[in-house]
């Protein structure tokens, strides 16, 4: 029987198809992807997805089993996929503070913080060891509110910070204007719990520094996954076998039969200005780099970059990208409302990016069945969360035990999602409600 597989229309649904390249990736030199098919057709471990989760899992398996053959397959070119499309915040605090687990909410939060701190330390070691030029900058981040409802949300978060022992600086409208150049926000705070990176540069650097026993295969969609070990992994052009499979393609794992009633995909959008003049950059505050997280999830994220550009991110849509012309107008409006003093509100790059959410914000993590592992549903915090949970998943696949893995397995599991079309109606309605509630935070 031939190993060649005819690509099908169905295979297009197993990975995101973007209208435009990632702005972060466009700033880097052109990448020559690893597109040559491997000669071997059987591997000890196959990893589906070369984002932060998949690369971390592959690296850890290869470190613990240096004689194992590991193949990482990705449907896109590394850096231009979902991992290279985020805002580049590495926040080592829980995003989902309601996430349950064994113990009190404070105990659960502290376990999460411990894991994120370990992930941040590990990433920094890799960046330093391999000389990954990704603009690593541990300057913290702002949270800012433009509405009374948003301010109350921030104050509630600070109450949790105090329980967790996290330090912060509260900021008035005038203080925010002085530091980030806008009087749009009436209240905010700054905490040190964030590192900025150039996300496409980071993920490309991690991919290019994988151990020698890891093979990377880019621009090759995985179409299906079958078997119980050994597994059959069918790509657009061939069939492969593996003793173990690690699935790390986030919401698109549902197209391979995993987490169909637990994880869903949404698109979010960002835009980046051309390099700004010194005079224009001065209008954005004195610091060379900063970022703002909105008080409402559907609000607008801002980032002034070390490279002298400004990034605006906002909005969600369910499973399908909005027209980029509409996105450009929406993001330009958000930019202009906050910074009317800028000479121009034009963007050089506008793009969408997909992420995976769960109904209750919990991560879909662990061994699905013997030999099949998955970490899905990063809920918008994929760089750091993906890295540490990918590392732990690799250790789990190698039968390594640790208190950190026990903690990860003890967190709350994702709750059930209704089937289509009820799911679509519920999610789209929730997005519309949150947009209305966000108001000026958008």
Q: Does residue 91 form part of some domain?
A: no
Could you tell me if 281 and 344 lie in one domain? yes
Strand-pairing partners, residue 316, are 268
Q: Does residue 119 form part of some domain?
A: no
Q: Does residue 429 form part of some domain?
A: no
Q: Which of 140, 147, 141, 142 is nearest to 185 (CA)?
A: 147
Q: Does residue 406 form part of some domain?
A: yes
Q: Does residue 349 form part of some domain?
A: yes
User: What is the pLDDT tens value at each position of the chain, 442 positions in all?
Assistant: 233 333 344 445 778 889 999 999 999 999 999 999 999 999 999 999 999 999 999 999 999 999 999 999 999 999 999 999 999 999 999 975 444 556 689 999 999 999 999 999 999 999 999 999 999 999 999 999 999 999 999 999 999 999 999 999 999 999 999 999 999 999 999 999 999 999 999 999 999 999 999 999 999 999 999 998 899 999 999 999 999 999 999 989 999 999 999 999 999 999 999 999 999 999 999 999 999 999 998 999 999 999 999 999 999 999 899 999 999 999 999 999 999 999 999 999 999 999 999 999 999 999 999 999 999 998 878 899 999 999 999 999 999 999 999 999 999 999 999 999 999 999 999 999 988 889 999 9
CA 172 to chain centre: 30
Could you tell me if 35 and 179 lie in one domain? no
**CATH code: domain of residue 321:** 3.30.9.10
Could you tell me if 245 and 280 lie in one domain? no
- How far apart are alpha carbons 413 and 118 in whole angstroms? 22
Q: How high is the pLDDT of residue 8?
A: 41
CA torsion sign for 96, 100, 102, 103 is: positive
Could you tell me if 211 and 288 lie in one domain? no
CA 76 to chain centre: 16
Could you tell me if 353 and 403 lie in one domain? no
Q: How high is the pLDDT of residue 230?
A: 94
Q: Which of 82, 95, 53 is nearest to 411 (CA)?
A: 95
The residues, any chain, with a CB within 8 Å of residue 378's CB and separated by 6 or more, are 53, 250, 355, 356, 363, 385, 386
**CATH code: domain of residue 226:** 3.50.50.60
Could you tell me if 339 and 302 lie in one domain? yes
Look at the chain and count its residues.
Answer: 442
Strand-pairing partners, residue 318, are 266
- How far apart are alpha carbons 290 and 141 in whole angstroms? 6
Could you tell me if 288 and 351 lie in one domain? yes
- How far apart are alpha carbons 313 and 334 in whole angstroms? 9
**CB 139: neighbour CB atoms within 10 A?**
15
Burial readout 265-276 (b: 16 or more C-beta within 10 A, e: otherwise) = bbbbbbbbbeeb
Q: Does residue 95 form part of some domain?
A: no
User: Is-contact 378 322, C-beta < 8 A?
Assistant: no
Could you tell me if 165 and 204 lie in one domain? no
Q: How high is the pLDDT of residue 101?
A: 56
Could you tell me if 150 and 226 lie in one domain? no
Q: Does residue 231 form part of some domain?
A: yes
Domain boundary among 338, 359, 380: 359
Q: Does residue 292 form part of some domain?
A: yes
Strand-strand pairing, 372-376 and 222-227? unpaired
Q: Which residue has the tokens 């069918």?
A: 234
- How far apart are alpha carbons 185 and 415 in whole angstroms? 35
| Dihedral over alpha carbons 255, 257, 263, 266 (to 10 degrees) | 0
Strand-strand pairing, 239-247 and 372-376? parallel
Q: How high is the pLDDT of residue 26?
A: 98
Q: How many domains does the chain have?
A: 2
Could you tell me if 289 and 364 lie in one domain? no
Range of the domain at 389: 23-85+200-262+360-422
Q: Which residue has the tokens 């061939």?
A: 238
Q: Which of 383, 370, 326, 376 is nearest to 356 (CA)?
A: 376
User: Is-contact 91 141, C-beta < 8 A?
Assistant: yes
Domain boundary among 359, 381, 397: 359
Q: Which of 420, 442, 440, 421 is nearest to 431 (CA)?
A: 442
User: Is-contact 69 45, C-beta < 8 A?
Assistant: yes
- How far apart are alpha carbons 394 and 417 in whole angstroms? 27
Q: How high is the pLDDT of residue 33?
A: 97
Contacts 24+ apart (CB under 8 A), 160-167: 160/97, 160/109, 161/93, 161/191, 163/106, 163/109, 164/93, 164/106, 164/109, 164/110, 164/113, 166/93, 166/191, 166/193, 167/191, 167/192
Domain boundary among 341, 359, 377: 359
The residues, any chain, with a CB within 8 Å of residue 421's CB and separated by 6 or more, are none
For the record, the structure tokens of 251 come out as 């919401």
Could you tell me if 80 and 184 lie in one domain? no
CA torsion sign for 56, 62, 68, 74 is: positive
Could you tell me if 217 and 316 lie in one domain? no
Give the CA count within 13 Å in the CB-facing half-sphere of 337: 16
User: Is-contact 320 305, C-beta < 8 A?
Assistant: no
**CB 105: neighbour CB atoms within 10 A?**
16
């Amino acid at each position: 029987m031939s190993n060649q597989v005819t690509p099908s229309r169905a295979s297009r649904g197993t990975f995101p198809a973007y209208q435009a390249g990632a702005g972060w990736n466009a700033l880097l030199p052109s990448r020559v992807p690893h597109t040559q098919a491997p000669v071997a057709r059987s591997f000890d471990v196959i990893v589906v997805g070369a984002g932060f989760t998949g690369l971390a899992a592959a690296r850890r398996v290869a470190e613990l089993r240096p004689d194992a053959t590991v193949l990482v397959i990705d449907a896109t070119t590394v850096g231009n996929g979902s991992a290279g499309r985020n805002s580049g915040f590495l926040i080592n605090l829980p995003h989902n503070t309601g996430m349950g687990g064994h113990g009190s909410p404070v105990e659960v939060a502290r376990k999460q913080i411990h894991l994120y701190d370990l992930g941040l330390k590990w990433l920094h070691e890799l960046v330093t060891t391999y000389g990954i030029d990704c603009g690593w900058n541990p300057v913290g981040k702002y949270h800012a509110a433009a509405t009374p409802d948003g301010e109350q949300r921030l104050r509630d978060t600070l109450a949790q910070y105090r329980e967790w022992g996290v330090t912060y600086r509260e900021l008035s409208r005038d203080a925010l204007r002085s530091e980030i150049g806008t009087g749009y926000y009436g209240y905010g705070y700054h905490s040190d719990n964030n590192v900025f990176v150039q996300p496409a540069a980071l993920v490309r650097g991690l991919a290019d520094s994988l151990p020698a026993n890891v093979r990377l295969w880019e621009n090759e969609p995985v179409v299906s996954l079958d078997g119980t070990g050994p597994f059959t992994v069918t790509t657009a052009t061939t069939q492969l076998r593996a003793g173990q499979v690690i699935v790390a393609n986030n919401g698109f794992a549902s197209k391979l039969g995993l987490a169909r009633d637990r994880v869903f995909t949404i698109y979010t959008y960002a835009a980046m200005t051309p390099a700004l003049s010194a005079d224009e950059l001065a209008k954005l505050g004195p610091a060379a780099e900063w970022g703002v997280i909105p008080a409402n999830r559907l609000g607008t994220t801002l980032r002034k970059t070390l490279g002298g550009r400004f990034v605006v991110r906002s909005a969600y849509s369910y499973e399908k990208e909005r027209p980029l012309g509409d996105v450009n107008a929406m993001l330009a409006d958000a930019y202009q409302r906050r910074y009317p003093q800028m000479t121009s509100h034009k963007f050089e790059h506008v793009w969408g990016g997909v992420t995976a959410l769960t109904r209750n914000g919990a991560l879909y993590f662990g061994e699905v069945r013997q030999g099949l592992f998955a970490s899905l549903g990063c809920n918008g915090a994929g760089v750091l969360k993906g890295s540490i949970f990918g590392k732990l998943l690799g250790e789990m696949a190698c039968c390594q035990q640790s208190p950190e893995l026990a903690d990860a397995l003890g967190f709350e599991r994702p709750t059930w999602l209704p089937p289509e079309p009820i799911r679509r109606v519920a999610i789209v309605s929730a997005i519309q409600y949150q947009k209305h509630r966000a108001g000026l935070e958008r």
